[in-house]
Amino acid sequence: MNIKIRNTLAEIIGALIAMTWMWLQLAEASIMTIESVSKVLAQGIGISIILIIILHIVFNILSSIISGQYEKDIDDERDKIYELYALQLSSVIFGISIVTTLVLMGWFNLSINTGLIAITFAGFIGSIISLFLKIYLYR
């Protein structure tokens, strides 16, 4: 497993843990105020960023211990192209999700809380799917 796949896996795991944490915190979202929902979502995004950094470090330390050598993470043209593909995919998913959420909010008269949660989770899901695309391309 090369460093790119390792780092991408770290990002997927970090995002999944943050999503799970947010899901558990938002179990009673229907009775929560918009301020408390926003607080949980903002904390979730922060947690995902911190987790990804920690997992990157842990994965690279473990890999160095197992293989006995340090692998440099060099970004070249191939990485930029794959990054672009992933960004395009996540943007499309996020865009479709926003429109779908807004339509459903109007149609079913859903609360702002629901819309806020749906849009944030759509961002995470789009990001996770695009990260899987990156793993597919790097394999």
Partner 1 sequence: MIKKKIHIENAVRKLRFNSDEMTQQGLAELVGVSRQTIVAIEKYKYTPSLDLAFKIALAFDREIQEVFFIN
Q: 70: helix, coil or strand? A: coil
Q: Does 2 bind partner 1 (CB under 8 A)?
A: yes
| C-alpha to C-alpha distance for 61 and 137, rounded to whole angstroms | 24
Sketch the per residue contact string, 42 through 71, with partner 1: x for CB under 8 A, - otherwise.
------------------------------
Figure out which of the listed residues 79, 102, 129, 135 binds partner 1, where binding follows CB under 8 A. 79
Q: Does 6 bind partner 1 (CB under 8 A)?
A: no
| C-alpha to C-alpha distance for 116 and 98, rounded to whole angstroms | 10
Burial 72-90 (b: 16+ CB within 10 A, else e): eeeeeeeeeebeeebeebb
* Residue with Cβ nearer partner 1 (8 or 48): 8
Smallest gap from residue 6 Cβ to partner 1 (A):
12
Give the total of residues touching partner 1 (CB under 8 A).
11
Q: What are 3's two structure tokens?
A: 């460093």
* Residue with Cβ nearer partner 1 (71 or 92): 71
Smallest gap from residue 139 Cβ to partner 1 (A):
9
Residue 113's nearest CA partner among 19, 46, 41 is 41
Query: Which residues of this chain interact with partner 1, rule CB under 8 A?
Result: 2-4, 72, 74-79, 138
